[in-house]
Structure 1
Amino acid sequence: MSRPPAIILAGGLSTRMGGGNKGLRLLAGETLLSRVIARMRPQCDLLALNANGHPDQFEDYDLPVIADGFGGFPGPLAGILAGMEWAAAQGMDCVVSVSVDTPFLPQDLVHRLREAKGRNGLAIAASEAPNGELRDHPTCGLWPVGLADDLHAALESGLHRTGQFAAAYDPGRAVFNSNPVDPFLNLNSPQDLADAARYL
């Protein structure tokens, strides 16, 4: 069985990081994008980047760069839709999405998402805090490309919450431990980058 392709979501405005492309920010000498690629490439046969703006800034990464099909930076759901459409064009029936600002992604993420998929074929990642509380991370998920039309309609209706869209399709959950650090920790500010460097 072939491994599903993955789309790295990097289409946002990075306002809390000070603007520019968040994926090109450095964490301990490597870009966030490089770190996410290193985590995902061994898990996927195909990898693409969802980013808006000029694709030349990513030419060193040797990835297809796919822009949102919706204007106005509508958020990660637009990137997931772009990933679905790209995966379908490759003849694939699903796509994994991850965010470019999550450099500690699990190395068995794709396998665990596939094992966890619900009755509609959708799975999202979740992490378990030391107190047992579960936290969903819906931008990190396994998405059937057959939901592309539904997602397009949802975006046209103004829906922007990834978790809200996923919840409508009874997703399975791949639950990961958060000790010593949440593997889905997302870095939104220069302070987050400094804290993550200490984790490393």
Structure 2
Amino acid sequence: MKQPYGVILAGGLATRMGGGDKGMLTLGGQTLLSRVIDRLAPQVAGLALNANGDPSRFAQFEMPVIADSIEGFAGPLAGVLAGLDWVAAQGGETLVTAAADTPFFPCDLVPQLLLKGEGMAHPLVLAATPDPKRGTARHPTFGLWPVALRDDLRAALKGGLRKVVLWTEKHDGREALFPDEDAFFNVNTPQDLTRAETML
């Protein structure tokens, strides 16, 4: 399998942070987005950012900015679809996504997702961590997605599907389990940002 391309998902509305781009918040003197780029870029063949609105606000990062093709903030799957279309244009076969507000995700994210996807006709894998209540918690913004299923995803989104897991389960999606419960800690509120400072 060719090395996947990466897309950072930053298309959300950040309502719990009072709006704006969560990825542009600073943590330890660096933006959350630049921390995510530093972790993901070495693991992928090329990197783009999924964000809606004026792309020039991300000019400092010098990477392609791709908007959702499905109208009305359809959630992470719309960003995944935009990413898959971009990867297809690059001649790639798979996409790995990461969220712009999750600065501590594993530096072996891509190898672990690829390992779990081995032997699948269309490798589709979500990252997961141990969860004391549910056994495991899936992290739907962190996944390996095959370009081959992009038209199926487009049809599902146009049909109103929004839940990531409903779509991945339909295609026998797997989970790659990462042992650290806090690996995918994301910054949703001002309190989370304070906690992230402590974790740093």
TM over 0.5: yes
The one-letter code sitting in structure 2 at the alignment partner of 1:62 is E
Report the counterpart of residue 86 of structure 1 in structure 2: 86
TM-score by length of 2: 0.94
Provide the secondary structure at the position in 2 that maps to 1:97. strand
Q: Is the 8 A contact 2:67 2:82 kept in 1?
A: yes
1:56-75 aligned at under 5 Å gives the runs 56-75=56-75
Q: Deviations over 1:139-182 (max 9, x none)?
A: 1100001111111111111111111111111112111012xx51
For residues 156 and 86 of structure 1, what CA distance do their matches in structure 2 show? Answer: 19
Report the counterpart of residue 151 of structure 2 in structure 1: 149
Q: Name stretches of at least 5 consecutive residues in structure 1 with no aligned partner.
A: none
Report the counterpart of residue 27 of structure 1 in structure 2: 27
Match of 1:127 among 120, 124, 129: 129
For residues 7 and 41 of structure 1, what CA distance do their matches in structure 2 show? Answer: 10
For residues 176 and 185 of structure 1, what CA distance do their matches in structure 2 show? Answer: 12
For residues 20 and 102 of structure 2, what CA distance do their matches in structure 1 show? Answer: 17
For residues 137 and 184 of structure 1, what CA distance do their matches in structure 2 show? Answer: 7
Provide the secondary structure at the position in 2 that maps to 1:186. coil
Moved over 6 A (4+): none
Q: Is the 8 A contact 2:2 2:92 kept in 1?
A: no
Report the counterpart of residue 137 of structure 1 in structure 2: 139
Report the counterpart of residue 12 of structure 1 in structure 2: 12
TM-score by length of 1: 0.94
For residues 158 and 60 of structure 1, what CA distance do their matches in structure 2 show? Answer: 35
Q: Is the 8 A contact 2:77 2:164 kept in 1?
A: yes
The one-letter code sitting in structure 1 at the alignment partner of 2:167 is F
- 1:133 Cα deviation from its structure 2 partner: 2.1
Q: Is the 8 A contact 1:129 1:177 kept in 2?
A: no
Provide the secondary structure at the position in 1 that maps to 2:178. strand
Report the counterpart of residue 163 of structure 1 in structure 2: 165
- 1:132 Cα deviation from its structure 2 partner: 8.7
Report the counterpart of residue 51 of structure 1 in structure 2: 51
* C-alpha RMSD of matched pairs (Å): 1.5
Percent identity between matched residues is 52
The one-letter code sitting in structure 2 at the alignment partner of 1:47 is L
For residues 163 and 184 of structure 1, what CA distance do their matches in structure 2 show? Answer: 17
Q: Deviations over 1:95-152 (max 9, x none)?
A: 0011111111100100000010173311110012468921111211000011111111
Q: How many residues align?
A: 198
Decide whether aligned partners of structure 1 residues 198 and 150 sit closer, same or farther in structure 2, where only a CA change above 3 A counts. same
Q: Is the 8 A contact 2:128 2:136 kept in 1?
A: yes
For residues 132 and 21 of structure 1, what CA distance do their matches in structure 2 show? Answer: 31
Report the counterpart of residue 39 of structure 2 in structure 1: 39
Decide whether aligned partners of structure 1 residues 152 and 129 sit closer, same or farther in structure 2, where only a CA change above 3 A counts. same
For residues 130 and 12 of structure 1, what CA distance do their matches in structure 2 show? Answer: 28
Q: Is the 8 A contact 1:85 1:145 kept in 2?
A: yes
